Amino acid sequence: MINFKKTFSPTTAVFALAMVLSACGGTSSESFEAGTKVIQVWVHKNETEDEGKIYKQIQTNFNNQSIKTASGQTLKMSMTFWGTTLESKIDASLLTGGLPDILAVDSSDVAAKVYNNVIVPFGTYLSDEVKNSYVDSVIQQGTIDNQLYFLSSMEAPGGLYYNKAMLREVGYSDADFGTLNNPWSFKDVQDAQRTLHSAGKSYQISLNVGFGTDGHMYLYSPLVYSAGATFGTENNVAEALTTAKAVAGISQLENFYLKQGLATNESWVYSGTSDSAFAGGQIPFQIHGPWDARKIAKSDTALKNDYGIMPYPVYEDEAGNKSKIFASPNGSYGFGISKDSRNIEASALALQYLTGEVASEMLYNAIGTFPTHKNLLNTMEVFKSGPEKELADYLLANTFTRPKMVKYPMLKDAYAEILDYIKNINTLGATYNLESQINSQMSRVDRSSM
């Protein structure tokens, strides 16, 4: 791991902030009692959005708690909701020393925020008991050079959605479906598709390649991990992803796009326009995060009692040996403490509350993001059975994150190019060369500056 510390050196003269709170830094129009420490928080949502409304309620709850520092000073929280303009506001405020105490950070952006000296470590201000209450993926994503820079109240575990009724119609029983101890591989998925197709049943899978702004890496970084490979280091991603293991892992998607065994107008991959193809009972499989589980739970369709979510498929080699490495999609927004916080200990108390069990449960109930606390995943009634339990189990078992790199924005775009390239395997014919494409895209990442 490289040393991510970097001093920000402004090159343009700027005006100082007009008003600085005596509390911890940042600006606010709210009034609090004299002597109160006010923790300023910048949020990545608009306060009219569902998630923003929950943060607003968390702020109110915090301010009603009379939480105090070790020295006895009362803490209050003041939030500013920047929505999609948050990153531009952060960039502008780096020049002025005007960052708040706490700011929202996407989990995949932690390394870059550390490298650019936007956020600072705060793990020493939290007890081991508190840190151990979070799932491994959150702690792993937020830890750089053995120091904790980030925590989150939200997670997004994913897996293989499957329609039990459709599969039972062609001879599958519940004992055949994948579990954490005996997961399916992508070859198992393809075998099931062939069985369904031969029986004249719906057989396609929605791979959701390209989902969202970070969907390629979110849903398909496990291809690399399960094959026993890595994404390398800042300047050596090409070397890492052109290994035999990495190429084999990524190439698992090829057979889904090839049309072997199909008519020219058919495809193993769902290419329709509906984002509810699985939830609507049209197709038997999809790779996705937790959102459709919530959608189906709120529906009145028969699918509610006739589907499950298997673990993310593991790698299987040509000899039929399945990988023992389980990796699951994960990651979401959380919070870090900025370099301009005047009291890191006080800010850490506020951040702990902001990402704590109460906040985590509130967000799950409101928007469906999974809690980040082991206790909630083990005790909440909703996680004791069904697909929600399955996703909770995968979240608890997973130790992998999206790559922790300063160059992550370039890496995710290059990885997206590779996965989109695989989609063209039929049209490219003899010119198709996955390893060459990987090398080309990742060499571009290696050459780029941080």
- What contacts 159, CB < 8 A, 6 or more positions away? 287, 288, 309, 310, 311, 312, 328, 329, 390, 391, 394
pLDDT value at residue 30: 64
Kindly compute the dihedral angle of the four CA atoms of residues 346, 352, 354, 360, in this order, to the nearest 10 degrees: -170
- In which band, very low, low, confident or very high, does the pLDDT at 35 lie, cut at 50, 70 and 90? confident
Contact 84, 213 (CB under 8 A): no
Q: Among candidates 68, 142, 54, which has minimal Cα distance to 372?
A: 142
CATH code that applies to domain 37-156+331-392: 3.40.190.10
Is it the case that residue 16 has pLDDT exceeding 50? no
* 260 vs 25, residue with greater confidence: 260
The band of 24, judged by pLDDT with boundaries at 50, 70 and 90, is: very low
Confidence band, pLDDT 50/70/90 cuts, at residue 450: confident
Of 2-11, 179-188, 215-224, 252-261, the poorest mean pLDDT is in 2-11
Same CATH topology for 37-156+331-392 and 159-329+407-447: the answer is yes
Domain boundaries, the chain: 37-156+331-392, 159-329+407-447
Tell me the pLDDT band of 429, cut-offs 50, 70 and 90.
Answer: very high
- Nearest of 439, 374, 445 to residue 403 by alpha carbon: 445
Q: How far apart are CA 386 and CA 371, in angstroms?
A: 17
Per-residue model confidence as pLDDT tens digits over 120-158: 999 999 999 999 999 999 999 999 999 999 999 999 999
pLDDT, position 4: 42
In the predicted model, is pLDDT for residue 275 greater than 80? yes
Q: What is the pLDDT of residues 163-198, one digit of tens each?
A: 999 999 999 999 999 999 999 999 999 999 999 999
- Tell whether the model's pLDDT for residue 21 goes beyond 50: no
Has residue 268 got a pLDDT over 70?
yes
Using the predicted structure, report yes or no on whether residue 313 has a pLDDT greater than 50: yes
CATH architecture of 159-329+407-447: 3-Layer(aba) Sandwich (3.40)
386-400 mean pLDDT? 97
pLDDT band for position 97 (cuts 50, 70, 90) = confident
What's the rounded mean pLDDT across residues 59-83?
A: 95
The predicted pLDDT at position 17 comes to: 32
pTM of the model: 0.91
pLDDT of residue 213: 84
- As a whole-number percent, the residues of the chain with pLDDT over 70 amount to 93
The residue-averaged pLDDT of 288-309 equals 92
Q: Are 226 and 400 in contact (CB under 8 A)?
A: no
Record the tokens describing residue 122, joined without a space. 């705060």
* Predicted pLDDT of residue 206: 98
